[in-house]
Amino acid sequence: MSMTCVARIACLVLTLLGGTLTAYGDELDGFNSAVEAASAHNRVAIGYLRTGNADLASLEIDRLRDSWMQLTERFSSRRPSAFEGNALYNKLFTGVSARLVGADIMLKTGRLDAARDALDAIRGDLYELRKASGVVVLADCIRDANAMMDALIVYNNRALDWDNSDTRSSLALKAVNYAAGLDRCDGIASEAVRAAPEFRRLIDGAKASLELIPKAIASRDADLLHRILIELRSFDNLLAFRYG
């Protein structure tokens, strides 16, 4: 075989291999997009369940189920390389399907809180899968920020002991942590999401509220702190509902 022929074959192999590797590597983006499509329905369904609207929640659960079936057909036997060796990957598909069945049963028997818990557990399953493989998406960052807000909201107490320096410093630290969490989410968001008016209103609004906490601490103003924390919780809930 001539050297020219060998070179051509080598070039062809490299081209095909490169295309295969590129396509395989791109599967993570496809997986994340498919998960986000399903998660969008999940978030809306959770929102309807929170407000007691069972009929609209049922419609969104049906849409969630359809999206999850499409995702399963595409990815259950085609694992993105980012999840190589992750034991949670195979468990995800049967686990989420079981949770959807459970949510449907709870909904039909009027147990809306239990149905919501089942849907929220799906968010947890996806979070744990990605965390185990170091895959970072906006939804997980928002979930982490929600936990930081949970730690901050405990200071919504008009009988707060302002004379306790540990209380004041801990409140200030948790506010700083939450601000850092929001900054991280802002950085993780895609350019389109980052520029979206709704996202900017929630992120920038929460940051503006956080900037008032040092004033509340310095003045020992429990009423001001209460208003700030209630406003922050509202932003936090909307971030979870829209992007979590």
The per-residue pLDDT for 20 is 38
Per-residue pLDDT tens digits for 179-224: 999 999 999 999 999 999 999 999 999 999 999 999 999 999 999 9
The per-residue pLDDT for 244 is 83
**Whole-angstrom Cα distance, residue 107 to residue 101?**
10
**Whole-angstrom Cα distance, residue 206 to residue 209?**
5
Report DSSP state, residue 26.
Answer: T
Per-residue pLDDT tens digits for 141-161: 999 999 999 999 999 998 889
- Percent share of the chain, pLDDT over 70: 89
Is the model's pLDDT at 6 over the cut of 50? no
The per-residue pLDDT for 26 is 54
The per-residue pLDDT for 158 is 85
Angle 85-189-127 (CA atoms, 0-180°, nearest 5)?
Answer: 35
The per-residue pLDDT for 17 is 38
> And the tokens for 87?
């034991």
Per-residue pLDDT tens digits for 76-89: 989 999 999 999 99
Structural contact between residues 57 and 49, judged by C-beta atoms closer than 8 angstroms: yes
Structural contact between residues 143 and 123, judged by C-beta atoms closer than 8 angstroms: yes
Angle 170-134-141 (CA atoms, 0-180°, nearest 5)?
Answer: 45
Rounded mean pLDDT of 222-244? 93
Per-residue pLDDT tens digits for 94-138: 999 999 999 999 999 999 999 999 999 999 999 999 999 999 999
Structural contact between residues 228 and 175, judged by C-beta atoms closer than 8 angstroms: no
Is the model's pLDDT at 243 over the cut of 60? yes
**Whole-angstrom Cα distance, residue 37 to residue 66?**
10
Per-residue pLDDT tens digits for 12-61: 333 333 443 333 445 899 999 999 999 999 999 999 999 999 999 999 99
C-alpha dihedral (206, 210, 211, 215), degrees to nearest 10: 140
